[in-house]
Amino acid sequence: MSSEGKVSRRDFIQTGATAGALLAAGQVLGAPADGKALGANERIKVGVIGPGGRAQAHMRILTDWKREGKPVEIVAIADVFNKHREQAAQLCGVKPENVYADYRKLLDNKDIDAVLIATPDHWHAKQTIDAADAGKDVYCEKPMTHTIDEAHQVCEAIKRNKRVMTVGVQSTSSPIWDKAHEVITAGRIGKVMQAQTSYYRNSDVGQWRYYGLSEDMTPKNIDWDMFLGTQFGLAPKVPFDRAKYAQWRCYWDYGGGMYTDLFVHQLTHLIKAMGVRFPRRVVGGGGLYLEYDGRDVPDVATVVADYNEGCQVIVTATMCNDFAIEEVIRGHTATIRFNGQESFDILPQKLANKPGTPSRSMGGEQGEKVTGGLKPDRDADTKAHWENFFECMRKRQHETDNPPELGYAAIATVNLGVKSYREGKAFYWDQENHRETLADESWAKGWEKRSHERGKPVHVMGWHAGDTGSLLHPPAYQRLEGPWINGQPPKPGDQRRNGGQVTKT
Whole-Å CA distances, 14 to 10, 337, 432, 500: 6, 43, 19, 52
Q: Name the residue among 29, 42, 40, 46 with its Cα closest to residue 162.
A: 29
Report whether 333 contacts 350 (CB < 8 A): no
Whole-Å CA distances, 288 to 256, 296, 321: 14, 8, 14
Instruction: Say how far apart CA 409 and CA 143 lie, in whole Å.
Output: 11
Domain annotation covers residue 229: no
The residue type at 452: H
Q: Name the residue among 60, 78, 163 with its Cα closest to residue 118.
A: 78
Q: Do residues 500 and 384 share a domain? A: no
- The DSSP bridge partners found for residue 222 are 81
Domain annotation covers residue 459: no
Q: Name the residue among 183, 165, 167, 372 with its Cα closest to residue 275.
A: 183
DSSP track, 416-442: HHHHHHHHT--EEEETTTTEEEE--TH
Element (H, E) at 401: none
Q: pLDDT of the chain along its 505 residues, tens only?
A: 333 333 444 444 443 433 333 333 333 334 456 666 666 678 999 999 999 889 999 999 999 999 999 999 999 999 999 999 999 999 999 999 999 999 999 999 999 999 999 999 999 999 999 999 999 999 999 999 999 999 999 999 999 999 999 999 999 999 999 999 999 999 999 999 999 999 999 999 999 999 999 999 999 999 999 999 999 999 999 999 999 999 999 999 999 999 999 999 999 999 999 999 999 999 999 999 999 999 999 999 999 999 999 999 999 999 999 999 999 999 999 999 999 999 999 999 988 877 777 776 555 567 999 999 998 888 999 999 999 999 999 999 999 999 999 999 999 999 999 999 999 999 999 999 999 999 999 999 999 999 999 999 999 999 999 999 999 999 989 889 999 999 999 887 665 533 344 444 3
Domain annotation covers residue 500: yes
Mapping DSSP onto H, E and C, the string for 302-316 reads: EEEEEECCCEEEEEE
Q: How far is CA 394 from the centre of its chain?
A: 25
DSSP track, 351-373: --SS-------SS----EEE--S
Q: Name the residue among 282, 26, 304 with its Cα closest to residue 152.
A: 26
Q: What's the pLDDT score for residue 53?
A: 86
Which stretches within 241-293 are classed as H helix? 242-246, 257-258, 264-274
Domain annotation covers residue 311: no
Q: Do residues 47 and 165 share a domain? A: yes
Q: What's the pLDDT score for residue 322?
A: 97
Domain annotation covers residue 462: no
- The DSSP bridge partners found for residue 330 are 194, 335
Residues making up the chain, counted from first to last:
505
Q: What's the pLDDT score for residue 479?
A: 87
Residue 80 structural domain: 9-173+379-403
Q: What's the pLDDT score for residue 182?
A: 98
Buried b (16+ CB within 10 A) or exposed e, 102-131: ebeebbebeebbbbbbbbbbbbbbbbbbbb
Element (H, E) at 301: strand 300-307
- Sign, CA dihedral 365-371-376-379, equals negative
Q: Name the residue among 415, 370, 38 with its Cα closest to residue 264.
A: 415
DSSP for residue 485: B
For residue 286, the SS3 value is strand
CATH number for the domain that contains residue 396: 3.40.50.720
Q: Do residues 152 and 59 share a domain? A: yes
Mapping DSSP onto H, E and C, the string for 93-149 reads: CCCHHHEECCHHHHHCCCCCCEEEECCCHHHHHHHHHHHHHCCCEEEEECCCCCCHH
Strands, sheet with 281-287, edge to edge from the N-terminal-most edge strand: 368-370, 343-348, 334-339, 328-331, 192-198, 311-318, 300-307, 281-287, 427-430, 435-438
- The DSSP bridge partners found for residue 99 are 77
Report whether 432 contacts 26 (CB < 8 A): no
Domain annotation covers residue 297: no
Q: What's the pLDDT score for residue 15?
A: 39
Domain annotation covers residue 193: no
Q: Do residues 383 and 504 share a domain? A: no
Domain annotation covers residue 61: yes
Instruction: Say how far apart CA 98 and CA 79 lie, in whole Å.
Output: 12
Q: List all residues 6 or more positions away from 498 whose beta carbon is below 8 Å from its beta carbon.
A: 452, 453
Q: What's the pLDDT score for residue 8?
A: 46
Q: Do residues 505 and 391 share a domain? A: no
Q: What's the pLDDT score for residue 31?
A: 46
Q: List all residues 6 or more positions away from 213 whose beta carbon is below 8 Å from its beta carbon.
A: 242, 243, 246, 247
Count structural domains, the chain. 2
Instruction: Say how far apart CA 374 and CA 196 lie, in whole Å.
Output: 21
Report whether 457 contacts 307 (CB < 8 A): no
Domain end, chosen from 403, 435, 454, is at 403
Q: Do residues 55 and 166 share a domain? A: yes
- The DSSP bridge partners found for residue 282 are 305, 427
